């Protein structure tokens, strides 16, 4: 059994027991979050929503918050002696899928 969910403009394929790194959102550690934006569920047969499956939800448990590896953005314009180096560390929230309800 798996589901395809939408969170902060991105789509994720999740199954029960999976761990995900989602974009950072405010939530207490060990709290549960319900996501109602379920695009599809496969439980013996595939149910696809238009755009969301009615009555479906995915229950997540927040494990921790953290920062990802550094991403380097390097821009160079040839023959112009112009270059720019910037970097950032994306903040994330690690969650675990507890239940998928159809």
pLDDT in tens, 59-73: 999 999 999 999 999
- The answer to the question of residue 37 being in a domain is yes
Confidence class for position 27, pLDDT limits 50, 70, 90:
very high
- The answer to the question of residue 50 being in a domain is yes
**Cβ atoms of 53 and 47 closer than 8 Å:** yes
- The answer to the question of residue 17 being in a domain is yes
Q: What is the pLDDT of residue 66?
A: 97
**C-beta atoms surrounding 2 within 10 Å:** 15
43 is in which domain, residue-wise?
Answer: 2-66+95-101
Rounded Cα distance between 48 and 5, Å, is: 11
Segment 46-71 mean pLDDT: 95
- The answer to the question of residue 79 being in a domain is no
**Cβ atoms of 54 and 60 closer than 8 Å:** no
Average pLDDT score over the chain? 95
For the chain, how many structural domains are there in total? 1
- The answer to the question of residue 78 being in a domain is no
The structure tokens listed for 46 are 């595939």
Confidence class for position 38, pLDDT limits 50, 70, 90:
very high
- The answer to the question of residue 71 being in a domain is no
Q: What is the pLDDT of residue 102?
A: 84
Q: pLDDT tens across 92-102, in order?
A: 999 999 999 98
């Amino acid at each position: 059994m798996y589901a395809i969910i939408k969170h902060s403009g991105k789509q994720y394929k999740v199954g029960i027991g999976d761990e995900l790194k989602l974009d950072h959102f405010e939530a207490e550690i060990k709290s549960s979050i319900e996501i109602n934006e379920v695009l599809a569920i496969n439980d013996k047969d595939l149910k696809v929503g238009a755009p969301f499956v009615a009555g479906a939800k995915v229950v997540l448990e927040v494990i921790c918050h953290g920062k990802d590896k550094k991403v380097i953005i390097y821009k160079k314009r040839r023959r112009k002696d112009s270059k720019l180096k910037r970097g950032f560390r994306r903040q994330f929230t690690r969650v675990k899928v507890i239940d998928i309800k159809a």
